[in-house]
Amino acid sequence: MEGKETKNTVAAAASSSPLFSFSNSNASFGFGFGFSASSGPPPPPPPPAVEVLLSEESPVAAGELEPVVIDDSLSIYKGRASTSDVFGVKNSDLVPGKYEGGLKLWEGSLDLVKTLNSDIKEDRLLLEGKRVLELGCGHGLPGIYAILKGAVLVHFQDFNAEVLRCLTIPNVKANLLKESSEEKFTSGSVGFFAGDWSEIDSLLLRGDADLDKSTNSHENDTAYNGYDIILMAETVYAVSSLPNLYRLIKKCLRYPGGIVYMAGKKHYFGVGGGTRHFVRLVTEDGAMQSDLLAEVADGSSNVREVWKLSFK
C-alpha cells in the first residue's frame, strides 16, 4: 500500500538500484490512495478467514506476463488484474473493508525482494528449507522469491480472496510450474489464505512465543512451531490495523529464532501509518528488537525502509 504520493513508475525508482531492471519500461504502478481517511462511514466487518485452493484460480485474465529482473540469473514473472474487472471499482487503490490494494505492485514489494536477494548473496540469510509466510501478499513476489530460493513451505495471505484467485495464484503458477509439476504445490508446500489479521491466525501455523519465557521450556534454543520467516511489504499504512498485525506476527513467528522482513514507507501521508510508527509499537511492547536494513530515498516517492524484526 502507499500514501498519497506523486505518481511515478517503479522502473524509475529501480534505475538507481543495480539489482533491478525492467524489460517493460512502460509498466504503470500507482502509488496513491483513492480515499480520505476521515471521510465516509466506518468500513463494514471484514470477510471471514478462508483458505483458497491452488485450483481456485479465477477466470479473470491476469493479462500478459511481465518479467521483473532480480539479477542476471533470476527473473520473476507477474500478471495484471484491474480493480474494475475484479471488484467493479475504478481508479481506486483502497476501499476500506472491501479492497485493500492487493492488485497493485507496490514499491515496497520490490524493495523487499531486493533486500532478501542481497542478504542471501552476503550470507546473512538462508531461505532453503525454511517455512515462510507473506502477509498482505498481493502479487506475491517476495513469497515466490522465497520458493525459488529453496523455502520448503510458503503461505500467502491477503485480505481479499479475489486477489489470491485473480493474481497471486496465477503468478505462483507462472513462476513455479514451469519446472515442476502441479502436484508438488498441492501437497502442502504452498498455501493461500484470505481474511483480516484479527482472525487469520486460526488458519496459519502458530508459534510458541506466548509460552512463559521465564521457564526452561526453551532450553538449548530448541526450535518450536511457527514460521521461520515472515515477509511483509506495504502493510503498515493504517494506524488502526497495526496492533492486529503485530499480534499476528507474535502468534505465528517461530520462537526462538524466527525473523520478520518488513518493507514500507517511512510515513504514509494522509493515513497516518508507516514503518517508524510500527517500529515504535514494537519497541514499546519490548518482546522484539528492530534493525534498519535499508533506506531508499530516490525521489520517486516518500522515503522507504526495510527492517528486520526478531524476538529478544
Q: pLDDT per residue over 18-60, tens digit each? A: 333 323 333 333 333 333 444 556 767 778 999 999 999 987 7
Give residue-wise pLDDT tens across range 187-210.
Answer: 469 999 999 999 999 999 999 766
pLDDT tens, position by position, 243-301: 999 999 999 999 999 999 999 999 998 778 999 999 999 999 999 999 999 999 987 77
What is the residue range of 160's domain?
48-207+223-309
Does 258 fall in a domain? Answer: yes
How does the average pLDDT of the chain come out, rounded?
80
- Listed in sequence order, the DSSP H helices in the chain are 10-14, 83-87, 107-121, 141-148, 161-163, 169-176, 182-184, 242-252, 275-285
- Residue 31 in any domain: the answer is no
Establish if 151 belongs to a structural domain: yes
Query: Could you tell me the CA-to-CA distances from 35 to 83, 111, 193, 285 in Å, in that order?
Result: 15, 25, 26, 31
Q: Which pLDDT does position 208 carry in this prediction? A: 75
Whether residue 28 is contained in a domain is answered as no
- In this prediction, residue 176 carries a pLDDT of 84
- The answer to whether residue 15 is domain-embedded is no
The domain spanning residue 145 has which CATH number? 3.40.50.150
Residue pLDDT, tens place only, 144-162: 999 999 999 999 999 999 9
Say what the pTM is: 0.80
Phi-psi category of 103—alpha, beta or left, where left has phi over 0 and alpha has psi -120 to 50?
alpha
In a domain, 107, yes or no: yes
Q: How does DSSP classify residue 272? A: B
Backbone angles phi, psi at 128, to 5 degrees: -60, 125
- Residue 37 domain-assigned? no
Q: Is residue 106 part of a domain?
A: yes
Domain count, the chain: 1
**What's the rounded mean pLDDT across residues 161-182?**
83
